[in-house]
Structure formats: structure tokens, C-alpha cells
Amino acid sequence: RAEEEAVFSRRNAAVCFCFRDRKEWADLEPVPQDDGPNPVVKIAYSEKFSDVYDYFRALLKKDERSERAFALTAEAIELNAANYTVWHYRRVLLQALSKDLREEMRYITNIIEEQPKNYQVWHHRRMVVEWLGDPSEELEFIAQILSQDAKNYHAWQHRQWVIQEYKLWDKELAFVESLLEDDVRNNSAWNQRHFVISHTTGFSEPAVVERETQYCLNQIRKAPHNESVWNYLKGMLQDRGLSSQPGLLEKVLELKETHCSPYLLAFLFDCYEDALENGVPKDSLDQGCQETLEKALEICKLLAQEKDTIRKEYWQFLGRSLQDRYGGEVSPGDATPTAPASEPQQIS
């Protein structure tokens, strides 16, 4: 008996229990895909795939609104969760059949867990949440997905939508902080930090800027070669002007001795550039201005030639640009390349 069963299940696994063999579907004529006589990019669909989608096409053609259609959409989705036509149809059926949306939430939760990098699944979840008018499970669910991949773009997008739509700002900064404790290099978390603050207190309040600056400097001391924190610091201060923060330049110059990095140097350059841009003396012959220009150009050269050579072209451009804008005379060394070569130059 046991042997017979083993053989039976082995055989079943190989043969697909297709819709075309099911009597409850006998009334429906499957619709094969119309690829035309000379197909291109023809996919060698499995028997199961063809079967399910032949029946999907049949249902779509009839615009059938039934339980069996609903059940079939789940099969079609399992075979290709990126088929947005199937998802649309499923949503139509959800409404037409007044399906239990709580159950649909459970369904979409599972699908997202399996395929968290798919656009359609997250959009579907958003629609169901909107229909229910109930975001109460969202933050926890998204946190769960982020615990598996803390940078999932769709997850963050859904999270921002939920927070903004339902005004759930309250605990988000704390959530961000916990993610940054896990991984201070998580750029998505730094972005969320910026998102929360700009939509709540804003960055105009000096107390906020002071607190955030302190936070950044602390993180920099712990891990200086973290580009995210430097970008955040600059991003927060750039509208006001980097040179507007009293004492910041000095702190960065201190850090340069013990916690240097290409990011610190770039930040320093930005401070100098901002000072030139917004500094009181506009006269290019002014001594202070000349000194600042020289310091900025020195950093450009250091980055281009030694510390950030992959961006050499960029740093050289910035140097030339700065020289142009604030320099009195052309300085030798970083001259604009002259006439281009007329033959292809091979590096081989």
C-alpha cells in the first residue's frame, strides 16, 4: 500500500493537475496566447504556466466575475507575480465579489514576504489598505520586511506613503535611530531621518540643526569612512550655507587630523566654496578670499591626485571652475585640456 502511494505521488508530481482536466472548468474554452505565426522572444512556458494563463485569458475575455476566477488569479500570480494585468483583474474581483479584505491582507502579506522586490505586490497592498482605511498593521509589517533587507526601496516607499497618508509620524524617528544603531551606513535610514524631520520639526530650528549636527559628528567619530553621514550633514546644511554654522569648520579641521577621509576633505572643500560664495569680501584681491580659494584648490588637487583619484576629472573640473570664479589670474597646473585628439585613442 505504502509503495503504491509513493508511486502515485511521484507520478502526480510529474503530471500537472491542469485546469483543462478539471470538470469544474469544462464549460470554459481556454484561449491560447496569440503570438502570431513567427513569434519573437518566445518563452518556453511550462505546461502548467500555459494551462493557467490559457484559462486566465479565457476569463478575461468573458470578463467573468466568479470565485473560480478569483482562485485562478492566485495561481497566475504565483507563476508570475509581475503580471500587472492579473493583479488588476484580481482587484476587480475583490470588489465585484465583495471579498474579505482582511483575508486579502493576509494573502498579500505572504506574497510580499516571498517576493519583496516586486512592484505589483506592494501596490496591491496599498490598494487594500486604502479600501480598508486601516493602516494599523503597516508599520510593523514593513519593519518585518526591513529586518530582512533594511534597504528595500519598495518597503521604504510604502512606509513613507503610510506615514504621510495616515499621519503616523510619532514613533518614526525612534525607528530610524534603531536602524542606524544596527547599521550606521544604512543610507535608506539616513534618508528616512531627513524625511521625518523635514515633515515634522523642519530643519529651520537652530536647536534641531544643533542636535542633528552633534548626532552626525558622533557617528563620524565612530566610523569616519561612512559616506552617508557626511552626505546627511551637508544635505541638512547646504540650503543655509555650510559656512553659516558657527564652529563647524573648526570641528571638521580637528577631525581631519585623526578621522580623515575623502568625505571629510570633500566636505571641507564645500565649506570653503560656500565661504567664497557667501563670504562678505567679494573682491577677488581680498587676502582672506585668496587664502580660502587656495585652501579649496589645494583640497581639489589632493583629492584628484591622491585621495579620490576615481573622481579626478570631477575634482579637476571643480578646481578650474572655482579658479575661474574667484581667482585673479590663471594658475598653472590645472589648465583646461586644449585641442582634442582627432584619432581614436586606444588604451591598449
Partner 1 sequence: MDGIPTPLRCFSEQHSAEMFVDDGVETVTSREQKNVERIIEETIDVYKQMHSLPQPTLLREQHYQYLKKGLRHLSDAYECLDASRPWLCFWILHGLEILEEPIPPAVASDVCQFLGRCQSPTGGFAGGPGQHAHLAPTYAAVNALCIIGTEEAYGVIDREKLLDFLWSLKQPDGSFTMHIGGEVDVRSAYCAVSVASLTNIITPKLFEDTTNWILSCQNWEGGLSGVPGLEAHGGYTFCGTAALVILGNEHMLDLKALLRWVVSRQMRFEGGFQGRCNKLVDGCYSFWQAGLLPLLHRALFKDGELELSRQRWMFDQQALQEYILLCCQNPTGGLLDKPGKSRDFYHTCYCLSGLSIAQHFGNMEHHQEIILGKEENRLAPIHPVYNICPEKVAQALQHFLRLPVPTDLRQPGVSGDTKSSEPDSAYAEPQS
The contact mask relative to partner 1 for 125-164 (x = CB under 8 A, - = no) is: -xx--xx------------------xx-x--xx--x---x
Please list every residue from 59 through 88 that binds partner 1, using CB under 8 A: 60-61, 63, 65, 79-85, 88
Please list every residue from 84 through 113 that binds partner 1, using CB under 8 A: 84-85, 88-89, 91-93, 95-96
Nearer to partner 1 among residue 211 and residue 288 (C-beta)? 211
- Does 232 bind partner 1 (CB under 8 A)? Our answer is yes
- Does 195 bind partner 1 (CB under 8 A)? Our answer is yes
HSE toward the beta carbon, residue 258, CA cutoff 13 A? 7
- Does 14 bind partner 1 (CB under 8 A)? Our answer is no
DSSP state of 6: H
Total residues at the site for partner 1 (CB under 8 A)?
95
- Does 19 bind partner 1 (CB under 8 A)? Our answer is no
Shortest distance, position 298 Cβ to partner 1, whole Å? 18
Nearer to partner 1 among residue 165 and residue 288 (C-beta)? 165
Is 301 among the residues known to form the active site? no
**Candidate list 6, 26, 43, 330; residue touching partner 1; CB under 8 A:** 43
CB atoms closer than 10 angstroms to residue 129: 23
CB atoms closer than 10 angstroms to residue 199: 14
Shortest distance, position 317 Cβ to partner 1, whole Å? 6
**Position 285: which residue type?**
L
Question: Interface with partner 1 by CB under 8 A: which range of 15-23, 40-48, 207-215, 242-250?
Answer: 40-48
**Candidate list 51, 138, 212, 308; residue touching partner 1; CB under 8 A:** 308
Angle between helices 119-132 and 153-166 (to 10 degrees): 20
- Does 15 bind partner 1 (CB under 8 A)? Our answer is no
- Does 222 bind partner 1 (CB under 8 A)? Our answer is yes
DSSP letters spanning 235-289: HHHTTT-GGGSTTHHHHHHHHHHHS--HHHHHHHHHHHHHHHHH-S---TT-HHH
Nearer to partner 1 among residue 6 and residue 306 (C-beta)? 306
Active-site residue, selected from the candidate residues 42, 48, 62, 117:
117
**Candidate list 105, 243, 264, 320; residue touching partner 1; CB under 8 A:** 320
**Position 254: which residue type?**
E
Residues 6+ apart with CB under 8 A from 345: none
Nearer to partner 1 among residue 5 and residue 34 (C-beta)? 34
Shortest CA distance to 68 belongs to which of 110, 28, 12, 21?
28
Please list every residue from 246 through 305 that binds partner 1, using CB under 8 A: 261
Please tell me the distance from the alpha carbon of residue 111 to that of residue 103, in angstroms, as a whole number: 13
Burial 282-293 (b: 16+ CB within 10 A, else e): eeeeeeebbebb
- Cβ(128)–Cβ(120) below 8 Å: no
**Position 257: which residue type?**
E
Catalytic sites, residue numbers: 117
